[in-house]
Structure 1
């Protein structure tokens, strides 16, 4: 009798323990589900808030569409006032004399949003939409990158992590016939030479290992011209190659006794990093 009672007691305790575990697991899962939904709801609210502010900026800019140029800055708050949105509006012949474009830039704590519009058929047509997240945004400019005589839209940013120099530029080439832009081309540590249709710059990597590159615009394509690296086994010598290589020796390319003069005009930070080994 005592043994039977003992067995029943143990089984009862085990069953209760399983029920408790099930309840705990259910509670934990419920909390996880709630957390995900709550985060999604917040993201949606933030997105809707930014969309409303963007619409307001568009309506404001519409009043000045007949002007040759205007600029306006203001701050706005979403409905919950949890953060401030810094808004910049720039309008005019930003990229060519034949068309007018509108740039609306929204800066929030976690990202910068750049929207470019073309004034066409009495409306603003969206031609570039970019989100630069993670507080990596530095600035954006209108400059001729490929030497066609028209200014392109260039976004300059810097990664939030990494070991080596990484000045990043994303270039949207202006298309004069349509008034819009191509997809973006990404370059690391570049210096643009539009008169030559050339880009020279520094690869990503440690000093003494990262090489210099030279690209050339070929319409909307980019041709690789050459790479120049410090010669790994010969001090104060360089190796010119047509492909990328890690720590090349003289056998992979052409040995150079000095760096070609054309590279002397690239960004000074890139050039200094390239020579740091010496």
Structure 2
């Protein structure tokens, strides 16, 4: 892995030099656009609408337009902002971990100690573990001020950026204003269904079916050319999706689900 940021976690007078690494990576098959007539690659060019000329990236600035005026923001302008020049991950407060709503979680990063001595890093890690708290921090990354949660995962400090409060939408659904009547029998059957599916979560047991099928399609095309019997390859999955779209009685669906779960467990 390659560090994407260097700085220090600070809480009180304690300074913990760290390197920041992306903790996740995408696994999607990379596709690009082509012309359906001849397979030619479709490319996008940055063209100035005033002179029609293609503009190199190094000559592109940003701008804010309020509808009447345009304000151009240059790289030099952005570099002068205090938050952008700050290289500290400052602890704002320590909070109970269960107070962080999962809907606020955004991207995840690993923090590696960036010092010959790891004592300050270990001190912060053990403090978080033993107090069972999560540190709320603020820092600047890629021209944005970030709010984040600092916690421990497998003896490594993990930084999870948080969405700001005004970025979370309120769920205003009129369809839920009048709650539907749920019978005791339906609730009992639903709880029985939950029991039949109980297990310990093992992320490695799950795969991205779409990407697996896409890779199979690509491999088949490589072997057979452009001709492939899609129905024969993916027909079963399509039929399953079609059946799942039918609207059936709630109690009947619960009963069938419980029976199927029991069969899977005993089979």
> Which band: TM-score by shorter chain?
under 0.3
Q: Which has the larger radius of gyration?
A: 1
**TM-score when scaled to structure 1?**
0.23
Structure 2 length normalisation: TM-score?
0.24
Question: Which fold has the larger relative contact order, with Cα–Cα distance below 8 Å and residues 6 or more apart in sequence?
Answer: 2
| Greater helix share, structure number | 2
Query: Could you say which structure has the higher strand fraction?
Result: 1
